[in-house]
Chain A
Amino acid sequence: MSVKYTKDHEWVKIDGDTATVGITSYAAEQLGDVVFVELPDVGKTFDQGDEMAVVESVKAASEVYAPVSGEVVAVNDGLEGEPQKVNESPDSDGWFVKLKLGDTSQLDSLMDDAAYQAHIS
């Protein structure tokens, strides 16, 4: 399973044709305490770069963009009652959505871990 990153601080874990999407620990740290996450409906399709979800912290609302095009096949319902999971474990339990990948070549436009670390440093 490989992990890729966007410049807007989303991560994408690829498993076959399914991409799990969340925000990076760097982004979660910058946002501060997350109090609400607005997730899309299952079945909705997004083009790469579309606004896909909204994460609300105490201070502000921030958009989460679709890192790749695809159809939403699952959303993390656990965030409804426990939005703080985004702060506690942004890389795992704090995931946002799973997308069924459309065009896998879009993954090439994303950063690998080393490139992302360089991007935020």
Chain B
Amino acid sequence: MPVTGPETMTDTLRTPLYDLHTALGAKMTPFAGYDMPLQYDGIMAEHKHTREAAGLFDVSHMGQAHYTGEEAALEKLITADLSALAHGEQKYTLLLNEQGGIRDDLMVSRPFGDDGLFLVVNAATKADDFAHIAKNTSGKGELRVIGDRALIALQGPQAADVFSALVPDAAKLVFMQCRVFTLDGTEIWVSRSGYTGEDGFEISLPADRAAEITQKILDDERVKPVGLGARDSLRLEAGLCLYGHDMNEETTPVEAVLMWAVAKPRRERLDFPGAARVMQMLADKPARKRVGFTMTGAPAREGAEIVKDGQTIGVVTSGGFGPSVGGPVGMAYIDTEFGAPGTEIEILLRGKARPAQVTKMPFVEQRYYRGE
């Protein structure tokens, strides 16, 4: 079935919140075809504010879609057990290629009062993802790309207090639950989830009401707008993968240490893409795996080589300064024999070997709300 929706990438695109960003003084940057806010007050301040109070993110560049029809056709492409996905629940899942390589990571949810599924995929991969899903479910299901809704995230320990002042019942959601609410007569789709390691919400709202509702949330003095810079440092400290960096089509869920996202019944049935190869790799242990690392001094960045006794044993896939950790943190793919937390390694920075240590992730405590 053909993909429908405004998915033609030509010039730099703007989200429905573009004017709000510029009015707030954001420094803008091109990202995945969009002109996005990199920062407002500064990455460090925005990062810390999110961990201490609440940060508001525009993630409207991400791909939203609605799927209806035969769910088995969609399920074949991903790693979730859709039959176990109840109304009002959301799952993190993976879109795999036939070799078990990761095409993308995504959220799938089953909204109440809806006969379909709501998908949220990465911005840089959305055109490919939607074409792939549409092609492989053709004649069995329909994928409708949602181009008229914005997506924002409100994250941080005060997010629930802030948001429940506007939408009281939102506080009843627990991590990875979703509901449709009405705010000022506008239908908003809310899930208790995010990409920071903090409690919070992701909120899909009509594009033509997005600026007004976002401004209303920002009117709460506990909330500050946060750009992509701090979004990256927050997710890195939380140990969350960034697609295209910490996993890609060449990495399997075993190597990426994301087997928790492959539902048990799917493993047993061996019916996810590349299942035979992936389960064999799980049994044999992969040659390399994703790990976290910490170090002192200059942060190792993506692409830095990891060595041990003069041999290359891995590569950094994400790295930077962790403002809440107070030092450099990163993720790397490393030969599995060196993957145990505590292992001393060296990372080449500008030709010099710097000591680093394999470190268990997350680097900061995840503070998801799982109920009283």
Distance, CA A60 to CA B297, complexed state (A): 14
For the complex, is B213 an interface residue (Cβ under 8 Å from A)? Answer: no
A56 & B299 in contact (Cβ 8 Å cutoff): yes
Kindly specify which of B39-47, B106-114, B271-279 makes contact with the partner chain: B39-47
Interface size class on chain A is: 10 to 19
Q: Contact check: which of B39, B45, B299, B301 meets A35 at CB < 8 Å?
A: B299
Residues of A within 8 A of B298 (CB): 36, 38, 54, 56, 61
B43 & A59 in contact (Cβ 8 Å cutoff): yes
B301 & A60 in contact (Cβ 8 Å cutoff): yes
Distance, CA A35 to CA B299, complexed state (A): 9
For the complex, is A114 an interface residue (Cβ under 8 Å from B)? Answer: no
A58 & B44 in contact (Cβ 8 Å cutoff): yes
Q: Contact check: which of B229, B323, B350 meets A54 at CB < 8 Å?
A: B350
Distance, CA A119 to CA B298, complexed state (A): 30
B42 & A33 in contact (Cβ 8 Å cutoff): yes
Distance, CA A38 to CA B323, complexed state (A): 18
Q: Contact check: which of B43, B299, B350 meets A32 at CB < 8 Å?
A: B43
Chain A, range 63-79, C-beta contacts under 8 Å to B: none
Q: How far is the CB of B325 from chain A (nearest CB, A)?
A: 11
Distance, CA A71 to CA B24, complexed state (A): 45
A36 & B321 in contact (Cβ 8 Å cutoff): yes
For the complex, is B320 an interface residue (Cβ under 8 Å from A)? Answer: yes
Q: How far is the CB of B278 from chain A (nearest CB, A)?
A: 35
Distance, CA A32 to CA B38, complexed state (A): 11
Q: Is the interface of A mostly helix, strand, loop or mixed?
A: strand
B43 & A58 in contact (Cβ 8 Å cutoff): yes
Chain A, range 35-59, C-beta contacts under 8 Å to B: 35-36, 38, 54, 56-59
The residue on B at minimum CB distance from A36 is B298
Residues of A within 8 A of B44 (CB): 32-33, 35, 58
For the complex, is B233 an interface residue (Cβ under 8 Å from A)? Answer: yes
Q: How far is the CB of A104 from chain B (nearest CB, A)?
A: 30
A36 & B301 in contact (Cβ 8 Å cutoff): no
Residues of A within 8 A of B320 (CB): 58-59
Distance, CA A33 to CA B321, complexed state (A): 10
Distance, CA A36 to CA B44, complexed state (A): 13
Q: How far is the CB of B349 from chain A (nearest CB, A)?
A: 8
Distance, CA A32 to CA B228, complexed state (A): 13
Q: How far is the CB of A100 from chain B (nearest CB, A)?
A: 25
Residues of A within 8 A of B323 (CB): 33, 58
Residues of B within 8 A of A61 (CB): 298-299, 301
The residue on A at minimum CB distance from B228 is A59
Q: How far is the CB of A12 from chain B (nearest CB, A)?
A: 23
The residue on A at minimum CB distance from B299 is A56
Residues of A within 8 A of B328 (CB): 36
Q: How far is the CB of B319 from chain A (nearest CB, A)?
A: 10
The residue on B at minimum CB distance from A59 is B229
Distance, CA A38 to CA B229, complexed state (A): 22
The residue on B at minimum CB distance from A80 is B297
Residues of B within 8 A of A38 (CB): 297-298
Residues of A within 8 A of B321 (CB): 35-36, 56-58
Q: How far is the CB of A46 from chain B (nearest CB, A)?
A: 15
Distance, CA A60 to CA B321, complexed state (A): 9
Residues of B within 8 A of A54 (CB): 298, 350
The residue on B at minimum CB distance from A37 is B298
Distance, CA A36 to CA B328, complexed state (A): 10
A33 & B43 in contact (Cβ 8 Å cutoff): yes
Interface, chain A (partner B; CB < 8 A):
32-33, 35-36, 38, 54, 56-61
CB-defined A-B contacts under 8 Å, sample of 20: A32-B42, A32-B229, A33-B43, A33-B44, A33-B323, A36-B297, A36-B298, A36-B299, A54-B298, A56-B321, A57-B43, A58-B43, A58-B44, A58-B47, A58-B229, A58-B323, A59-B38, A59-B43, A60-B301, A61-B298
Q: Which 9 A-B pairs have the closest CB atoms?
A: A33-B44, A35-B321, A58-B43, A36-B298, A58-B321, A56-B298, A38-B298, A33-B42, A32-B43
